[in-house]
Each structure stands twice: as C-alpha cells, then as structure tokens.
Amino acid sequence: MYDVVHLDEKWFYVTKVGGKVYVLTGKDDVPIEDPPVQYAQSKRHIKEVMFLCAVARPRGDWDGKVGIWPVVETYTTQRASVNRPDGVEEVRPVSMTREIYRDMLVTDVIPAIKAKWPQDQKHIPIRLQQDNAKPHVHEDDAEVLAAGCSDGWMMHPLNQPAQSPDLNC
C-alpha cells in the first residue's frame, strides 16, 4: 500500500453566507484587514468549486499529502461591472471532463508526486488509483503514461473496482 496515490474530487462552497469570519487585528485591536464582503443573490445558489485531491500513505519522513488543485479556468473579463473594471483576470469553475482531468494529471499531479515522493523509493511502480467516474482517464492513456514514466519514474493510472467490499467501508 506504500505505492498507491489516491485521486478524488471534492466540492467546496465558495462562501457560506452568515458564517463566522475571523479578521486579523494589530495593536490596540485595530483590524489589519477588512472583513470580506459576503454576498449571494440567493442562499439557494451559493457557488461551489470542485477540487482534485491527491494523497498517499504517510511514512516516517513524509506526511503523504501530495496536493489539492481547483478545477477552474482563468478568463479575462470583457466588460466592466459595478464590482470590477474590464480586462481583469478572473477564475470560474468548470465541469470536469476527460481532457481537463488528463491535463491536471500531466501538469499538476504527476510533477507534484515527483517533487514530494521520497527519492529513495523512486524505483517502485506508483499506482494512481482513481474511481471509475466517466471523466477519468483510461488505464492505458498514452499521454498520462508518458508523463508518469519519464525521468526514471513508473506511474500508471489504476481504476478502483466498482462496489468493492475491500475498498467501500
């Protein structure tokens, strides 16, 4: 089990209206920062963002945390609004597709594993275990295998069996 990196997606709410907010204070309890502006047109439509998370089993010299990345795209605003001028770069959540998942594996997850994985265990084949969701890559995806098997590493995706009693506790 020391050779498995678990990959999964998780939804997080961008803001929770009416929640408790902590503001940093300086000398004489004067706030250093302004409290964030919490707004939502409706409490039923609070924005949420998907994150891709990668974790492995902790070891004595490593905590097993590989990383967490937002599934968003950056775009430049075309028009000005009350809240911002035009030409500002903003991010917006996108739906997870196979192309986005593959791109995140190649550009974010695999380089993070190579940077954080213990170097004395580089020769051990590493399995990137994912659930069988439709946007996930196939086990024989050429682009992911090429990125995972470069520089002396051996990483390959592995699909988790559906309804497995060993893995679904």
- What would the pLDDT profile of 24-53 be if each residue is shown by its tens digit? 888 888 878 877 776 667 777 778 899 999
Phi-psi region of 86 (alpha: psi -120 to 50; beta: other; left: phi over 0): beta
Q: What is the pLDDT of residue 66?
A: 96
Q: What is the pLDDT of residue 83?
A: 80
Q: Which amino acid is at 152?
A: G
Q: What is the pLDDT of residue 30?
A: 80
Percent residues over pLDDT 70 in the chain: 92
Q: Is the pLDDT of residue 108 over 80?
A: yes
Question: Buried b vs exposed e over 27-61: b needs ≥16 C-beta within 10 Å?
Answer: eeeeeeeeeeeeeeeeeeeeeebbbbebbbeeeee
List alpha helices for 4-141, DSSP H.
Answer: 98-104, 110-116
Task: Report which of residues 122 and 142 the model is more confident about.
Answer: 142
Q: Is the pLDDT of residue 60 over 60?
A: yes
